[in-house]
Amino acid sequence: METLTTEEKAYLLEKIRDIPDFPKPGIIFKDITTLLKDPKAFGYLMNHLEDRYKEMDIDFVAGIDSRGFIFGAALADRLGKGFVPIRKQGKLPYTTIGEKYALEYGFDEIEIHIDAFACDKERPNVLLIDDLIATGGTATAAANLIDKSGANCIEACFILGLDFLRGDRELKKITPVYTVLEVH
């Protein structure tokens, strides 16, 4: 498997803009729109992901609402696989199944269509992808939702990991985790 060089990783990290105090004071938001608009950076990233996953037995790529849609749909196309959106509650038009997860104060829920992973395979293999893993609540709920649907989450992939938050700790109990870039 081709790995990103130190220079390529540095280039990708340089293309992710920090926005201080967004969405609230004390938070440094990692803005990927600056990476997306740079064709060289986006190309490095997508070539790397395609190379990593092209030999894996993947039936579907599932992306978490909303930035996971960008990377997930592009990767699914490159791999010749179907793409499944994992949406926030109430956003899908057909019959859904959902998974609740805890927030700092309260709960939220994500959903997929009940037939999202329907295919000729009894337990299809799904790659879960999102732009960033922070505390891991949404990603863990998404992996649980994939399992609840009768599919198998073979790996969770993130473009950026906020290593200091240890959000992958619970997720690793469910599925392997791969993070392209780490922020310490």
Residues with a known catalytic role = 67, 104
Q: Are 129 and 61 in contact (CB under 8 A)?
A: yes
State how far the alpha carbon of 66 is from the alpha carbons of 72, 87, 142, 173, in Å: 10, 8, 13, 24
Nearest CA to 131 out of 52, 75, 170 is that of 75
Q: Are 98 and 144 in contact (CB under 8 A)?
A: no
**Residue 19 to residue 37: CA distance in whole angstroms:** 17
Beta-strand ranges (E) seen in 7-150 are: 17-20, 28-31, 60-64, 82-88, 96-103, 106-113, 125-133
Structure-token pair, residue 12: 């990708």
